[in-house]
Amino acid sequence: MNEKVCVVRTNLWIDPVFDQLLTENDKVDLRIIDVTAPEQEWYETLKHAHYYHVSAAKDELPAGLFVTEALLAHCPGLKGVSSSGAGYDTIDVAACNARNITVVNQAGGNANSVAEMALGLLLAVSRKIVESDRTLIAQQASSREALMGHEVAGKTLGLIGIGHIGSRFAQMATGLGMNVLAYDPNLTPQDIGLRQAQPVAFDVLLAQSDIVSLHCPLNNDTRDMFNAQAFRAMKRGAIFISTARGGIHNEEDLHASLHDGHLAGAGLDVWRQEPPEADNPLLGHPRVVATFHTAGVSHEGRRNVARMAAQQLLLMVDGKTPPHVVTS
């Protein structure tokens, strides 16, 4: 009888479809690590692992379970690592590359959920929905005109990145009568055009967009991409939205641009530190709508991601190449 392939995951919540698909396969031995157990127990399980499915949430996963050089030293038989989302901030991809360990993400699995959240933030800021909610609950005296926002129809939306999420958002925005611009150095102008957006240079997008929304990864090229200079280059009265990654926008510079009135508002689902500290000035700003990095957290999105992860792992178990490999 052939030895089973050992797949390890943590006991952080995952949609049940993940376990269902893996345990239905008689080639797979699924083992689960308790994140509250002593580290030595983790490593005792991981030493048997052929594949490791790891959370992409840095604030939920203990640092000792991040895929690092130190953890890989305890995984002599590891062949592949699967991220629980499109992001893979908890995985040292270079270290995996050096060991010929395949890393996959779940790109596109929760794209609709994230795009819907970006749209929700856009509408919440544009129409002052949260501000109206807070005012009503606090029973503060206010005129309706003080809570008067702007329609989005006819406005220009600028997308930084138009991959799975950005292209879905472009479809939604077009349906609302918005004009869509996009900057994405990884795509040709023709590809961007096919995704229902007009391709433009970065500086042109900033100058012409009423709303700028981020849909790009955090890397050396995008870290602090939105700083004081970029915010100043945006139209006066524009809105800034990010459901991408904390660190792409400089939080201090964003606050300054809101405080001096250059930007009209911001909708933020991602933070440099997650969760952000209670005294983060952006949390207290009246024209900021803040959420808990939950853009991709819907029942449908989580189920899609779990199913995709299981399917990709099963492809690797069968010696096949999965579709969303991030290692070279």
Positions marked catalytic: 245, 274, 293
The torsion angle over the Cα atoms of residues 168, 294, 51 and 10, rounded to 10 degrees, is -160
d(CA 156, CA 95): 42
Kind of pairing between the strands at 28-33 and 80-83: unpaired
Distance CA 183, CA 201 (A): 6
| Residues whose CB is less than 8 angstroms from the CB of residue 221 and which lie 6 or more positions away in sequence, other chains included | none
- Find all residues with CB under 8 Å of 294, minimum gap 6, and list them: 117, 269
Q: Show Cβ contacts of residue 154 under 8 Å, excluding neighbours closer than 6 positions.
A: 177, 178, 179
123-135 burial, b at 16+ Cβ within 10 Å, e below that, comes to bbbbbbbbbbeee
